[in-house]
Structure 1
Amino acid sequence: MLTPLVAVAVLAGGVAFAANQLSDENPKPANGAKPPAGAGQTSLPPTADGPKTAYPAGTLFDSFDYSGPNDPALAAHGWQARDGQGGPGIPNTWSTSGVSFPQVPAAQGGKALQLQLVTDGTKAGTRQAELAGTGGKFSTGTLAARVYFSEKPTSGRNGDHINETLFLMSPSGGSSAKYTELDYEYMPNGGWGAPGPQLDTTSWRSSKPGDRVTRPNKQSYKGWHTLMITAMDGVVTYSIDGRTLFSSNGKEFPREPADIHFSTWLIDLPFTGVRTWNMQVNWVYRKANQTVALKDVQAEVDAFYAQGTRYVDTTPRS
Structure 2
Amino acid sequence: MSQPRRTSRSRAWTALTLPVLLCVLAACSGGPASGRGADTAAPGASRTPSGPPGTLFDSFHYSGPDDPSLTANGWEVRNGAGSPGIKDTWSSAGAGFPSDATAQGGRVLQLRASTDGTKQGTRQVEVQSTGTALFTGTYAARVHLSERPTSGRDGDHVVQTFFPISSAEASADYSELDHEYLPNGGWGSVGSQLDNVSWYKADPPDRVSHTSKQHLEGWHIMMITAVNGKVTYSLDGKDLFTSSGKYVPREKMDIHFSNWFIDLPFTGGPRTWDMKVNWFYYKAGEAVSQAEVQKTVDGFYSAGTGFINTVPKS
Shorter chain as denominator, the TM-score bin is 0.7 to 0.9
Letter in 2 for 1:144: A
Letter in 1 for 2:7: F
Kindly provide the CA deviation profile for residues 248-306 of structure 1, in whole angstroms up to 9, marking residues without a partner as x.
00111101100000000001111111001100000000000100000000000000000
The answer (yes or no) to whether the contact 2:175–2:199 under 8 Å persists in 1 is yes
For residues 51 and 57 of structure 1, what CA distance do their matches in structure 2 show? 17
* Alignment counterpart, residue 266 of structure 2, candidates 249, 252, 271: 271
**TM-score (norm: length of structure 1):** 0.86
Larger mean Cα displacement after TM superposition, 108-117 or 128-137: 128-137
1:63 to 2:63 alignment: no
Contact 2:132–2:313, Cα closer than 8 Å, also in 1: no
Q: Which runs of 5+ in 2 are unaligned?
A: 11-23, 33-47
Q: Structure 1 residue 230 and structure 2 residue 220: aligned?
A: no
Instruction: Find the counterpart in structure 1 of residue 82 from structure 2.
Output: 86
Distance 1:12 1:226, change over 3 A: farther
**Which residue matches 2:122?**
126
CA-CA distance at 1:208 after TM superposition:
1.8
Partner amino acid, structure 1, of 2:213: K
CA distance in 2, matches of 1:227, 1:244: 10
User: 1:158 aligns to what?
Assistant: 154
Q: 2:276 aligns with which of 253, 260, 280?
A: 280
Aligned residue in 2 for 1:30: none
The change in CA–CA distance for 1:136 and 1:176 in structure 2 (over 3 A counts) is farther
Of 182, 188, 200 in structure 2, the residue corresponding to residue 193 of structure 1 is: 188
Q: CA deviation at 1:193?
A: 1.1
In 2, the alpha carbon distance for the partners of 1:209 and 1:302 equals: 42
How far apart in 1 are the matches of 2:272 and 2:128? 21
Question: Out of 279, 289, 299, which is 2:285 matched to?
Answer: 289
Unpaired stretches in structure 1, ≥5 consecutive residues:
1-10, 21-43
Conserved in 1, the CA contact under 8 Å of 2:162 and 2:255?
yes
Shift in Å, 1:49: 7.1
Aligned counterpart, 1:302? 298
SS in 1 for 2:257: strand
Aligned-residue CA RMSD (Å): 1.6
Q: CA deviation at 1:19?
A: 1.3
2:91 aligns with: 95
Per-residue CA deviation, residues 140-165 of structure 1 (Å, 9 max, x unaligned), is 00010000000111110000000000
C-alpha distance in 1, partners of 2:51/2:258? Answer: 29
Aligned counterpart, 2:25: 45
106-115 or 50-59, which deviates more: 50-59
**Is 1:15 aligned to 2:5, yes or no?**
yes
Aligned to 1:5: none
Partner of 2:21: none
Deviation, structure 1 residue 15: 1.2
Determine helix, strand or coil for the equivalent of 1:227.
strand
Could you say what secondary structure the match of 1:205 adopts?
strand
CA drift of 1:16 comes to 2.6
Q: Give the AA of the match of 1:199.
A: L
Distance 1:149 1:216, change over 3 A: same
Deviation at 1:12, TM superposition (A): 9.8
- Taking the aligned partners of 2:313 and 2:262, their CA distance within structure 1 comes to 37
**Separation in structure 1 between the aligned mates of residue 185 and residue 57 of structure 2, nearest angstrom:** 32
Describe the shift of the 1:306–1:47 C-alpha distance in structure 2 as closer, same or farther (beyond 3 A).
closer
Tell me the residue number matched to 1:73. 69
Between stretches 105-114 and 130-139, larger displacement belongs to 130-139
